[in-house]
Structure 1
Amino acid sequence: MKTDSLFYRIFQTAPGIVLELAGASPSEAIGYEFRSVELKQTAFRIDGVLIPTQDNQNQPTYFVEVQFQRDDRLYHRFFAELFLYLAQNPNTADWRGVLIYFDRSIRPEQTPLYQQLIDSDKVQEIYLTELENLDTLSLGIRLIKLIVEPEPTSINQA
């Protein structure tokens, strides 16, 4: 999907946006690199992984999934990819999952299988259409918000 590559480029250029969306300080981005990671197995590909640099190995690794269309198997795939990554990278200090949806209608139905993880502080679900008023948002978050705005509105806001 073309939005995946757009988000990948934005997050690679400005990884602080991922941290800010996840409720962490964007200033911590200096200690991270944003990558697309292919896992050796059944060719899983995570949308993006914000990996701490060598000097910040004690910080959490952020797994990012961007969804603009409904995928009822999202949680199954996301956690399979995430835990496969952790199995292949046992020195990972901690982790956080960041699921970014266009809006709530894209979110899969709740599932008891993963609900405890989804409800924990390990996973954050973000709905781009519900981000606050543009005037109060950082430049990075406003850039992300423009992607989901209708064209007439986005042109005025840009």
Structure 2
Amino acid sequence: MLAERVVEWTEKWKQQGLQQGLQQGLQEGLEKGLQQGIAQGEITLLRRQLTRRFGPLPEWVEQRIQQAPPEQLETWAERLLDAESLPAVFET
């Protein structure tokens, strides 16, 4: 009888552990997907604003935008408001 209880408890704990692991993995996946979606939205918006202000974007701009961290995208978006030229947006 005790042995049966131990087997039952072990199965219950395994199931609980599996459920917790799945929930944690799902949550981490959702957070990562959300961050990627926000970053892509920032890239899209910056690209549209730059194109509207300065016309078609050269390849070097596209490359810099795609490789930039979110903080840099925000800096460029702010510079866009006052910059007189496309290179001025990306000056360091």
Q: Same fold (TM over 0.5)?
A: no
Specify the TM-score bucket, using the shorter chain as the normaliser.
Answer: under 0.3
- Looking at secondary structure, tell me which structure has more helix per residue: 2
TM-score under structure 1 normalisation? Answer: 0.18
Max radius of gyration: which structure?
A: 2
